[in-house]
């Protein structure tokens, strides 16, 4: 499964053994994400992200892959459209909080 959106401000946490946790949000719904490994340098709060993995029984998305996105040229079109509809997207920027599940 693949999810995409923006890393929710205030949600990014780094732990021991390369554990990274954050939430992907569209401003209405947040999806908690857990990833163990090295993340891209561009991964930060308010920035676009795409994660591939599976949803665990507790509702957390266990990511196998995390890709940081810096603008709409690299984000799936449906994610950009959802961000624009929610009012969370500024043309040419990836600021704010927004996203969608794909």
pLDDT score, position 93: 47
Which pLDDT belongs to residue 34? 98
pLDDT digits (tens, 9 = 90+) for 10-27: 999 999 999 999 999 988
Q: Topology of 2-93 in CATH?
A: OB fold (Dihydrolipoamide Acetyltransferase, E2P) (2.40.50)
What is the tens place of the pLDDT at every residue in 28-67? 899 999 999 999 888 999 888 999 999 999 999 999 999 9
pLDDT surpasses 50 at 101: no
List of residues 6+ apart from 97 with CB closer than 8 A: 6, 8, 9, 25, 26, 27, 46, 88
| pTM tops 0.75 | no
């Amino acid at each position: 499964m693949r999810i995409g959106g923006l890393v929710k401000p205030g949600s990014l946490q780094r732990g021991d053994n390369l554990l990274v946790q954050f939430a992907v949000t569209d401003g209405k719904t947040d999806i908690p994400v857990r990833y163990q490994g090295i993340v891209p340098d561009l991964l930060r709060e308010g920035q676009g992200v795409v994660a591939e993995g599976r949803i665990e029984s507790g509702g957390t998305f266990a990511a196998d892959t995390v890709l940081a996105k810096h603008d709409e040229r690299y984000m799936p079109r449906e994610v950009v459209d959802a961000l624009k509809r929610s009012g969370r997207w500024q043309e040419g920027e990836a600021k704010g909080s927004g996203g969608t599940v794909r």
